[in-house]
Amino acid sequence: MTSYLLTPVLRVLGVRFMPQLPVRDRDFHHKPTPKLGGVAIVGALYLGISVAQQMSFFSGIFRSPEPIQGVLIALAIILVMGVLDDLIDLRWWAKLIGQVAVGLVIVQHGILLKALPVGSLHIDSPALQVFVTVLVIVGTMNAINFVDGLDGLAAGISAIGAATFFVYSYLLATRVSAEDYANFSALLCAVLLGATLGFLPHNFQPASIFMGETGVLAIGLLFAVATLAVTGDVLGQDAFRFRNVPAFMPVILPVAVIVLPYLDLLLSVIRRTAKRKSPFSADRGHIHHRLVDLGHSPRAVVLILYLWAALVASGVVVISLSDRRIAIPLYVAAFIFVTFVTWLPMLKRAHGKLGLPGAK
Protein backbone atom coordinates (compact mmCIF):
# COMPACT_ATOMS: atom_id res chain seq x y z
CA MET A 1 0.00 0.00 0.00
CA THR A 2 2.86 2.39 0.80
CA SER A 3 4.48 2.06 -2.61
CA TYR A 4 1.06 2.30 -4.30
CA LEU A 5 0.26 5.61 -2.57
CA LEU A 6 3.78 7.03 -2.75
CA THR A 7 4.42 6.32 -6.43
CA PRO A 8 2.06 9.00 -7.86
CA VAL A 9 3.73 11.62 -5.66
CA LEU A 10 7.14 10.64 -6.96
CA ARG A 11 5.84 10.63 -10.53
CA VAL A 12 4.84 14.29 -10.13
CA LEU A 13 8.23 15.12 -8.60
CA GLY A 14 10.01 13.23 -11.35
CA VAL A 15 8.18 15.07 -14.12
CA ARG A 16 8.80 18.44 -12.49
CA PHE A 17 12.36 18.19 -11.22
CA MET A 18 14.15 15.28 -12.90
CA PRO A 19 15.70 15.46 -16.38
CA GLN A 20 13.47 13.89 -19.01
CA LEU A 21 15.54 11.36 -20.93
CA PRO A 22 14.80 10.99 -24.65
CA VAL A 23 13.22 7.77 -25.90
CA ARG A 24 15.92 5.47 -27.33
CA ASP A 25 15.68 3.07 -30.26
CA ARG A 26 15.67 0.01 -27.99
CA ASP A 27 12.90 1.43 -25.76
CA PHE A 28 9.27 0.32 -26.03
CA HIS A 29 7.66 3.39 -24.44
CA HIS A 30 6.78 6.31 -26.71
CA LYS A 31 7.29 9.32 -24.46
CA PRO A 32 9.76 10.33 -21.72
CA THR A 33 8.82 8.67 -18.44
CA PRO A 34 10.11 9.59 -14.95
CA LYS A 35 12.33 7.03 -13.18
CA LEU A 36 11.79 7.78 -9.48
CA GLY A 37 9.55 4.77 -8.82
CA GLY A 38 12.34 2.96 -7.02
CA VAL A 39 12.22 5.58 -4.28
CA ALA A 40 8.65 4.47 -3.54
CA ILE A 41 9.80 0.84 -3.41
CA VAL A 42 12.60 1.69 -0.96
CA GLY A 43 10.19 3.74 1.15
CA ALA A 44 7.80 0.78 1.30
CA LEU A 45 10.66 -1.54 2.31
CA TYR A 46 11.70 0.77 5.13
CA LEU A 47 8.15 1.10 6.42
CA GLY A 48 7.50 -2.64 6.16
CA ILE A 49 10.61 -3.47 8.18
CA SER A 50 9.77 -0.75 10.73
CA VAL A 51 6.25 -2.13 11.22
CA ALA A 52 7.61 -5.68 11.58
CA GLN A 53 9.99 -4.44 14.28
CA GLN A 54 7.00 -3.43 16.40
CA MET A 55 5.34 -6.85 16.13
CA SER A 56 6.06 -9.47 18.76
CA PHE A 57 5.89 -12.24 16.15
CA PHE A 58 9.18 -10.98 14.65
CA SER A 59 10.97 -10.44 17.97
CA GLY A 60 13.32 -13.34 17.31
CA ILE A 61 14.61 -11.65 14.15
CA PHE A 62 15.22 -8.26 15.76
CA ARG A 63 16.87 -9.80 18.82
CA SER A 64 20.05 -9.73 16.71
CA PRO A 65 19.45 -6.51 14.76
CA GLU A 66 22.81 -6.28 12.97
CA PRO A 67 21.71 -8.02 9.71
CA ILE A 68 18.61 -5.82 9.46
CA GLN A 69 20.72 -2.73 10.13
CA GLY A 70 23.03 -3.76 7.33
CA VAL A 71 20.09 -4.05 4.92
CA LEU A 72 18.78 -0.62 5.93
CA ILE A 73 22.19 1.05 5.47
CA ALA A 74 22.66 -0.69 2.13
CA LEU A 75 19.23 0.53 1.00
CA ALA A 76 20.23 4.08 1.94
CA ILE A 77 23.34 3.82 -0.25
CA ILE A 78 21.23 2.46 -3.10
CA LEU A 79 18.74 5.31 -2.69
CA VAL A 80 21.46 7.96 -3.00
CA MET A 81 23.21 6.19 -5.86
CA GLY A 82 19.96 5.55 -7.74
CA VAL A 83 18.74 9.14 -7.52
CA LEU A 84 22.16 10.39 -8.61
CA ASP A 85 22.03 8.05 -11.59
CA ASP A 86 18.61 9.41 -12.55
CA LEU A 87 19.98 12.96 -12.27
CA ILE A 88 23.37 12.73 -13.97
CA ASP A 89 23.51 9.21 -15.49
CA LEU A 90 26.46 7.72 -13.60
CA ARG A 91 29.14 5.84 -15.51
CA TRP A 92 29.04 2.04 -15.27
CA TRP A 93 32.25 1.86 -13.22
CA ALA A 94 30.89 4.36 -10.67
CA LYS A 95 27.76 2.24 -10.26
CA LEU A 96 29.87 -0.89 -9.91
CA ILE A 97 31.90 0.73 -7.13
CA GLY A 98 28.66 1.64 -5.37
CA GLN A 99 27.34 -1.89 -5.74
CA VAL A 100 30.52 -3.35 -4.26
CA ALA A 101 30.21 -0.88 -1.37
CA VAL A 102 26.67 -2.15 -0.78
CA GLY A 103 27.97 -5.71 -0.71
CA LEU A 104 30.70 -4.82 1.77
CA VAL A 105 28.17 -3.14 4.07
CA ILE A 106 26.16 -6.36 4.12
CA VAL A 107 29.32 -8.36 4.90
CA GLN A 108 30.28 -5.98 7.71
CA HIS A 109 26.91 -6.59 9.34
CA GLY A 110 27.41 -10.31 9.65
CA ILE A 111 25.83 -11.66 6.46
CA LEU A 112 28.38 -14.02 4.94
CA LEU A 113 28.22 -17.13 2.81
CA LYS A 114 30.23 -19.60 4.87
CA ALA A 115 28.78 -22.98 3.92
CA LEU A 116 26.35 -24.72 1.62
CA PRO A 117 23.97 -27.33 3.06
CA VAL A 118 25.05 -29.95 0.54
CA GLY A 119 27.39 -32.63 1.80
CA SER A 120 30.14 -30.83 3.72
CA LEU A 121 30.93 -27.95 1.40
CA HIS A 122 32.48 -25.13 3.43
CA ILE A 123 34.14 -21.87 2.44
CA ASP A 124 36.99 -21.74 4.94
CA SER A 125 38.91 -18.68 3.71
CA PRO A 126 37.52 -15.42 5.19
CA ALA A 127 38.68 -13.50 2.11
CA LEU A 128 36.89 -15.96 -0.17
CA GLN A 129 33.74 -15.72 1.97
CA VAL A 130 33.73 -11.95 1.49
CA PHE A 131 34.44 -12.22 -2.24
CA VAL A 132 31.68 -14.79 -2.89
CA THR A 133 29.16 -12.88 -0.78
CA VAL A 134 29.82 -9.58 -2.56
CA LEU A 135 29.77 -11.38 -5.91
CA VAL A 136 26.33 -12.84 -5.17
CA ILE A 137 24.98 -9.43 -4.15
CA VAL A 138 26.42 -7.52 -7.12
CA GLY A 139 25.44 -10.27 -9.55
CA THR A 140 21.86 -10.40 -8.32
CA MET A 141 21.44 -6.62 -8.43
CA ASN A 142 22.68 -6.55 -12.03
CA ALA A 143 20.53 -9.53 -12.98
CA ILE A 144 17.39 -7.64 -11.92
CA ASN A 145 18.71 -4.53 -13.68
CA PHE A 146 19.19 -6.38 -16.96
CA VAL A 147 15.61 -7.70 -17.02
CA ASP A 148 14.11 -4.24 -16.44
CA GLY A 149 13.37 -3.56 -20.10
CA LEU A 150 9.58 -3.67 -20.48
CA ASP A 151 6.79 -2.00 -18.54
CA GLY A 152 6.03 -4.06 -15.46
CA LEU A 153 8.53 -6.83 -16.27
CA ALA A 154 11.04 -6.46 -13.43
CA ALA A 155 8.37 -5.59 -10.85
CA GLY A 156 6.15 -8.53 -11.81
CA ILE A 157 8.93 -11.11 -11.97
CA SER A 158 10.26 -9.83 -8.64
CA ALA A 159 6.81 -10.12 -7.06
CA ILE A 160 6.48 -13.70 -8.31
CA GLY A 161 9.95 -14.55 -7.01
CA ALA A 162 9.32 -12.87 -3.66
CA ALA A 163 6.03 -14.73 -3.19
CA THR A 164 7.63 -18.09 -3.99
CA PHE A 165 10.66 -17.43 -1.83
CA PHE A 166 8.40 -16.29 1.04
CA VAL A 167 6.37 -19.50 0.92
CA TYR A 168 9.51 -21.63 0.95
CA SER A 169 11.24 -19.62 3.70
CA TYR A 170 8.16 -19.73 5.90
CA LEU A 171 7.63 -23.46 5.41
CA LEU A 172 11.29 -23.94 6.20
CA ALA A 173 10.91 -21.96 9.42
CA THR A 174 7.96 -24.12 10.52
CA ARG A 175 10.09 -27.24 10.06
CA VAL A 176 13.17 -25.88 11.79
CA SER A 177 11.44 -24.53 14.90
CA ALA A 178 8.13 -25.50 16.47
CA GLU A 179 8.10 -22.38 18.69
CA ASP A 180 9.24 -19.48 16.46
CA TYR A 181 8.15 -19.28 12.83
CA ALA A 182 9.68 -15.84 12.27
CA ASN A 183 12.31 -16.01 9.57
CA PHE A 184 14.74 -13.37 8.30
CA SER A 185 14.42 -14.37 4.64
CA ALA A 186 10.64 -14.68 4.85
CA LEU A 187 10.41 -11.16 6.30
CA LEU A 188 12.55 -9.67 3.53
CA CYS A 189 10.49 -11.44 0.87
CA ALA A 190 7.20 -10.37 2.46
CA VAL A 191 8.09 -6.67 2.47
CA LEU A 192 9.53 -6.98 -1.04
CA LEU A 193 6.32 -8.63 -2.26
CA GLY A 194 4.24 -5.80 -0.83
CA ALA A 195 6.50 -3.10 -2.28
CA THR A 196 6.55 -4.56 -5.80
CA LEU A 197 2.81 -5.32 -5.91
CA GLY A 198 2.05 -1.76 -4.81
CA PHE A 199 4.30 -0.34 -7.52
CA LEU A 200 3.16 -2.65 -10.33
CA PRO A 201 -0.21 -0.97 -11.14
CA HIS A 202 1.68 2.24 -11.96
CA ASN A 203 4.40 0.41 -13.90
CA PHE A 204 2.40 -2.06 -15.99
CA GLN A 205 2.01 -1.12 -19.64
CA PRO A 206 1.55 1.68 -20.38
CA ALA A 207 3.80 2.64 -17.49
CA SER A 208 3.47 6.10 -16.00
CA ILE A 209 6.73 5.72 -14.06
CA PHE A 210 9.81 3.47 -14.04
CA MET A 211 11.62 2.10 -10.99
CA GLY A 212 15.02 3.22 -12.26
CA GLU A 213 18.35 2.22 -10.78
CA THR A 214 17.04 2.65 -7.23
CA GLY A 215 14.31 0.07 -7.64
CA VAL A 216 16.23 -2.64 -9.44
CA LEU A 217 19.19 -2.44 -7.05
CA ALA A 218 16.92 -2.50 -3.98
CA ILE A 219 15.05 -5.55 -5.29
CA GLY A 220 18.31 -7.29 -6.19
CA LEU A 221 19.74 -6.55 -2.75
CA LEU A 222 16.81 -8.11 -0.90
CA PHE A 223 16.81 -11.17 -3.12
CA ALA A 224 20.55 -11.60 -2.59
CA VAL A 225 20.39 -11.20 1.18
CA ALA A 226 17.40 -13.53 1.45
CA THR A 227 19.33 -16.06 -0.63
CA LEU A 228 22.39 -15.79 1.60
CA ALA A 229 20.28 -16.07 4.73
CA VAL A 230 18.69 -19.31 3.53
CA THR A 231 21.82 -20.79 1.97
CA GLY A 232 24.62 -19.99 4.34
CA ASP A 233 25.37 -19.60 8.02
CA VAL A 234 24.56 -15.90 8.34
CA LEU A 235 22.77 -15.50 11.65
CA GLY A 236 25.06 -17.47 13.94
CA GLN A 237 23.04 -20.63 13.42
CA ASP A 238 24.25 -24.07 12.44
CA ALA A 239 24.97 -24.07 8.72
CA PHE A 240 23.33 -27.50 8.48
CA ARG A 241 20.09 -26.59 10.21
CA PHE A 242 18.17 -27.71 7.10
CA ARG A 243 18.74 -31.45 7.48
CA ASN A 244 15.03 -32.16 7.76
CA VAL A 245 14.29 -30.69 4.31
CA PRO A 246 15.73 -31.63 0.90
CA ALA A 247 19.40 -30.65 1.09
CA PHE A 248 19.53 -29.18 -2.40
CA MET A 249 16.63 -26.78 -1.86
CA PRO A 250 18.49 -23.84 -0.27
CA VAL A 251 20.90 -23.91 -3.22
CA ILE A 252 18.47 -24.41 -6.09
CA LEU A 253 15.52 -22.26 -5.02
CA PRO A 254 17.30 -18.87 -4.89
CA VAL A 255 18.64 -19.49 -8.39
CA ALA A 256 15.26 -20.70 -9.64
CA VAL A 257 13.44 -17.66 -8.26
CA ILE A 258 15.39 -15.28 -10.49
CA VAL A 259 16.63 -17.68 -13.14
CA LEU A 260 15.35 -15.50 -15.99
CA PRO A 261 17.27 -12.38 -14.91
CA TYR A 262 20.41 -14.48 -14.30
CA LEU A 263 20.08 -16.15 -17.71
CA ASP A 264 19.59 -12.79 -19.39
CA LEU A 265 22.61 -11.40 -17.53
CA LEU A 266 24.81 -14.32 -18.61
CA LEU A 267 23.73 -14.12 -22.25
CA SER A 268 24.19 -10.35 -22.27
CA VAL A 269 27.73 -10.56 -20.89
CA ILE A 270 28.66 -13.25 -23.45
CA ARG A 271 27.05 -11.31 -26.31
CA ARG A 272 28.67 -7.98 -25.45
CA THR A 273 32.07 -9.45 -24.67
CA ALA A 274 32.06 -11.27 -28.01
CA LYS A 275 31.48 -7.88 -29.68
CA ARG A 276 34.34 -6.39 -27.61
CA LYS A 277 31.96 -4.12 -25.75
CA SER A 278 31.60 -3.44 -22.04
CA PRO A 279 29.36 -6.02 -20.29
CA PHE A 280 27.48 -3.02 -18.86
CA SER A 281 26.77 -1.37 -22.23
CA ALA A 282 23.16 -1.30 -23.40
CA ASP A 283 21.84 -3.12 -26.44
CA ARG A 284 18.68 -4.63 -27.89
CA GLY A 285 19.49 -8.29 -27.41
CA HIS A 286 17.72 -9.16 -24.17
CA ILE A 287 15.23 -12.01 -23.90
CA HIS A 288 12.28 -9.61 -23.94
CA HIS A 289 13.60 -7.93 -27.10
CA ARG A 290 13.90 -11.30 -28.82
CA LEU A 291 10.35 -12.25 -27.89
CA VAL A 292 9.05 -8.99 -29.33
CA ASP A 293 11.02 -9.66 -32.52
CA LEU A 294 9.43 -13.12 -32.59
CA GLY A 295 6.04 -11.48 -33.01
CA HIS A 296 4.60 -10.92 -29.53
CA SER A 297 3.34 -7.53 -28.37
CA PRO A 298 5.28 -5.94 -25.48
CA ARG A 299 2.37 -6.63 -23.10
CA ALA A 300 2.19 -10.26 -24.23
CA VAL A 301 5.94 -10.64 -23.68
CA VAL A 302 5.58 -9.43 -20.09
CA LEU A 303 2.77 -11.90 -19.41
CA ILE A 304 4.72 -14.76 -21.02
CA LEU A 305 7.78 -14.00 -18.90
CA TYR A 306 5.53 -13.88 -15.84
CA LEU A 307 4.40 -17.41 -16.72
CA TRP A 308 7.98 -18.63 -17.13
CA ALA A 309 9.04 -17.00 -13.85
CA ALA A 310 6.12 -18.58 -11.98
CA LEU A 311 6.72 -21.94 -13.62
CA VAL A 312 10.41 -22.11 -12.78
CA ALA A 313 10.20 -20.62 -9.29
CA SER A 314 7.16 -22.56 -8.10
CA GLY A 315 8.29 -25.81 -9.71
CA VAL A 316 11.18 -26.29 -7.30
CA VAL A 317 8.93 -25.80 -4.27
CA VAL A 318 5.99 -27.83 -5.54
CA ILE A 319 8.04 -30.82 -6.67
CA SER A 320 10.07 -30.87 -3.45
CA LEU A 321 7.32 -30.30 -0.90
CA SER A 322 4.29 -32.03 -2.44
CA ASP A 323 3.24 -35.42 -3.80
CA ARG A 324 5.47 -35.86 -6.85
CA ARG A 325 3.09 -38.32 -8.47
CA ILE A 326 0.64 -35.46 -8.88
CA ALA A 327 3.01 -32.48 -9.03
CA ILE A 328 5.32 -33.69 -11.81
CA PRO A 329 2.60 -34.48 -14.43
CA LEU A 330 0.93 -31.13 -13.70
CA TYR A 331 4.26 -29.36 -13.99
CA VAL A 332 5.05 -31.05 -17.32
CA ALA A 333 1.63 -30.04 -18.66
CA ALA A 334 2.18 -26.44 -17.56
CA PHE A 335 5.64 -26.45 -19.16
CA ILE A 336 4.19 -27.65 -22.50
CA PHE A 337 1.47 -25.00 -22.36
CA VAL A 338 3.88 -22.11 -21.65
CA THR A 339 6.27 -23.34 -24.34
CA PHE A 340 3.40 -23.45 -26.86
CA VAL A 341 2.31 -19.91 -25.97
CA THR A 342 5.90 -18.65 -26.27
CA TRP A 343 6.42 -20.06 -29.78
CA LEU A 344 2.87 -19.39 -31.01
CA PRO A 345 3.79 -16.55 -33.45
CA MET A 346 6.42 -18.76 -35.12
CA LEU A 347 3.95 -21.65 -35.35
CA LYS A 348 1.40 -19.32 -36.95
CA ARG A 349 3.93 -18.15 -39.53
CA ALA A 350 4.90 -21.74 -40.33
CA HIS A 351 1.21 -22.60 -40.58
CA GLY A 352 0.70 -19.77 -43.07
CA LYS A 353 3.73 -20.66 -45.21
CA LEU A 354 2.49 -24.22 -45.57
CA GLY A 355 -0.88 -22.91 -46.80
CA LEU A 356 -2.79 -25.04 -44.32
CA PRO A 357 -6.54 -24.48 -43.81
CA GLY A 358 -7.23 -21.59 -41.50
CA ALA A 359 -3.90 -19.89 -42.16
CA LYS A 360 -4.09 -16.17 -42.80
User: DSSP characters for 162-231?
Assistant: HHHHHHHHHHHHHHH-SS----HHHHHHHHHHHHHHHHHHHHSSSPS---HHHHHHHHHHHHHHHHHHHH
pLDDT of residue 236: 39
Is the pLDDT score of 100 beyond 90? yes
Residue 149 is assigned to a structural domain of this protein: yes
pTM here is 0.81
- Rounded distance between C-alpha atoms, residue 354 and residue 289, angstroms: 27
Residue 319 is assigned to a structural domain of this protein: no
Which of 197-201, 204-208, 237-241 shows the lowest per-residue confidence on average (mean pLDDT)? 237-241
Residue 304 is assigned to a structural domain of this protein: no
Beta-sheet strands, E only, within the chain: 115-116, 121-122
pLDDT of residue 124: 79
Is the pLDDT score of 206 beyond 50? yes
In contact, 67 and 111? CB cutoff 8 Å: yes
Which one-letter amino acid corresponds to residue 273? Answer: T
Is the pLDDT score of 51 beyond 60? yes
pLDDT of residue 290: 79
Number of domains present in the structure of the chain:
1
For residue 140, what are the domain limits?
A: 2-266
Percentage of the chain exceeding pLDDT 70: 74
Closest to 168 measured CA to CA, from 208, 205, 223, 121? 223
Residue 113 is assigned to a structural domain of this protein: yes
Give the residue with greater pLDDT, 213 vs 315. 213
Mean pLDDT (the chain) is 80
CA within 13 Å, CB half, 158 = 39
Sign for the CA dihedral angle at 192, 173, 228, 54 comes to: positive
Residue 358 is assigned to a structural domain of this protein: no
Residue 171 is assigned to a structural domain of this protein: yes
Residue 251 is assigned to a structural domain of this protein: yes
